[in-house]
Structure 1
Amino acid sequence: MKSTINYKRIFSDILDQKYPEKKEICKDLLNKEILSTIDIIDLNKRIFDTVDEKTESFNQNHKAYNQSSVLYILDYQKQNRLNNSQVAKHFKLSRYTLRKWKKRYLV
């Protein structure tokens, strides 16, 4: 049997134990039925303010996106009429990654 990570419970416990003052700003995301990868990244930003550039760089190198998150990002680009550079900056991705996703998913 495959186990899945219960991010709602993890983030709720973190908020209860360490950051109760940030519960209100995270409530809308934690009330969702299913958390997407984008939601998890957003929750992480809301709870843990990035301290330094080294930590930010490390975290950026270890992000993984599933197909639904990639399609969300590409749809966001289309809806807001942004170029690759603008979307890459907004989601902290490389332009090459966006180009690769477009080639794979929007052919």
Structure 2
Amino acid sequence: MAGKIRIRPDYVKIYTEILHKNHPEKFEECRCLLKKKMSNLDIIRLNQKIFGISDQESEIFSRKHRAYDKTAILQILDYQKIYKLNNKQLAAHFKLSRNTIAKWKESFYN
């Protein structure tokens, strides 16, 4: 077996259906994210725009189940460089652990 083939869900189709059926008023606001090839970071942004975070419990649940691919991680680390943030500030902005950011930096910059 050479390697696993990863099939991604069609997030554009899924979120378009959700917007049309449940949140038609938010469709125009989310259109720009739906038109491009979405990274994991874009999916998280879109999810926040559509559903929002109403209480702390749902925020903790969504934070535990996030997954970041290499592109998303590098975008987050680039954001840190552009805005000259330390690990604590970056962690607060993206609602991540400081240890996660430190591991990412060690993995990608060493």
Shorter-chain TM-score tier? over 0.9
Aligned residue identity for 2:87: N
Q: Give 4+ residue runs of structure 1 displaced > 3 Å after superposition.
A: none
Partner of 1:31: 35
Q: Does 1:21 align with 2:2?
A: no
Q: Measure how far apart 1:69 and its partner are.
A: 0.6
Instruction: Report how many residues are paired.
Output: 106
Aligned-residue CA RMSD in angstroms?
Answer: 1.1
- Select 2:80's aligned residue among 65, 77, 82: 77
Aligned residue identity for 1:90: H
Partner of 1:12: 16
Any stretches of 5+ residues in structure 2 without a counterpart? none
Q: Measure how far apart 1:51 and its partner are.
A: 1.9
Partner of 1:48: 51
Any stretches of 5+ residues in structure 1 without a counterpart? none
TM-score using structure 2 length: 0.92
TM-score using structure 1 length: 0.95
Partner of 1:97: 100
